[in-house]
Amino acid sequence: MGLLLLLGLAPAGGAAAAAGARKQIVHHVFFWLKNPASQADAEKLITGLRTLRAIPQIRELRIGVPAATEQRSVVESSYQVSELMVFDSVEDQRRYQEHPIHKAFVAACEGLWDRVVVYDSVDV
């Protein structure tokens, strides 16, 4: 059953029910740059996003760019940079939003983006 839990395929009840009590928050943000062809602007944004790793409430942080996967009607790849974070709770996500490092990131980088879309979800 250990491998099943690791893969998120555990049967209902027992350890799975206990694990389900902890509902992590996934915070996924997509950035469209004002200058989408500017590699320098993308790198500046990525550098800024990396500073967020110092915020203790973040359990996981991934920074990415669109993958060269098959283009299909359901695939959105017009953004330039994305970040995905995992938090242990809604409260931790709120504390991240108010953290001075996050506020400094926004102040330093908000002039780079034209559009930002955020998807927040909770484990089920």
Where are the domains positioned within the chain? Answer: 20-67+76-122
What span, in angstroms and rounded, lies between the C-alpha atoms of 82 and 30? 4
Q: Residue 7: phi, psi to the nearest 5?
A: -85, -5
pLDDT means per 10 residues in the chain (124 residues)? 44 49 91 97 98 98 94 91 97 97 98 97 92
> What is this structure's pTM?
0.80
On whether the 20-67+76-122 domain is CATH 1.10.10.60, my answer is no
- Torsion (CA) 10, 16, 20, 24 in degrees, nearest 10: -60
DSSP 8-state symbol, 24: -
